[in-house]
Amino acid sequence: MTEALGLRDRVRLEAEPDHIGVWPDRPGSPATSRRRVALMLALVGLGDHARQRPGELSGGQQQRVAIARALAGRPKLLLADEPTGQLDQETGKQIMRLLRAVVRSEGVTALVATHDPVLIDLADEVLQLQDGKITAS
């Protein structure tokens, strides 16, 4: 169903969950959520692409939409499992830099799982897991 929606509407689904009763205590009018959606798309560099459909975007642009959607609902914690796994190395670095900048501007804590040692250099703190146990930090 969401494939038929443009980026603005896909992000709005995350910014306006009130209409389905998920977060009934979350404040916000439709005008507020429209501003939030516009801000999130602008933060990830896709403000001019709001009417495009997902199939019209590159892999990197689709990852940026995913970041915008994840942050639209103002989470306190963002979990990202291999957010750059399907991207080339340079696009992956760009996405991680973007994620880091947006997380800081929004005051969100991000927990990112990756196997890519190049991306680890972009982290504020690194925890290493081996056989389900933290082996280094």
Q: 16-58 pLDDT, tens per residue?
A: 555 444 444 455 566 777 788 888 888 888 888 888 888 888 8
pLDDT of residue 4: 62
> CA-CA distances (angstroms) from residue 4 to 10, 51, 62, 106, 137?
9, 11, 15, 29, 43
Question: pLDDT tens for residues 72-125?
Answer: 888 889 888 888 887 788 878 888 888 888 888 888 888 889 888 877 887 888
pTM attached to this predicted model: 0.67
Q: CATH no. for residue 76?
A: 3.40.50.300
How many separate domains does the chain show? 1
Residue 23 sits in which domain range? 2-136
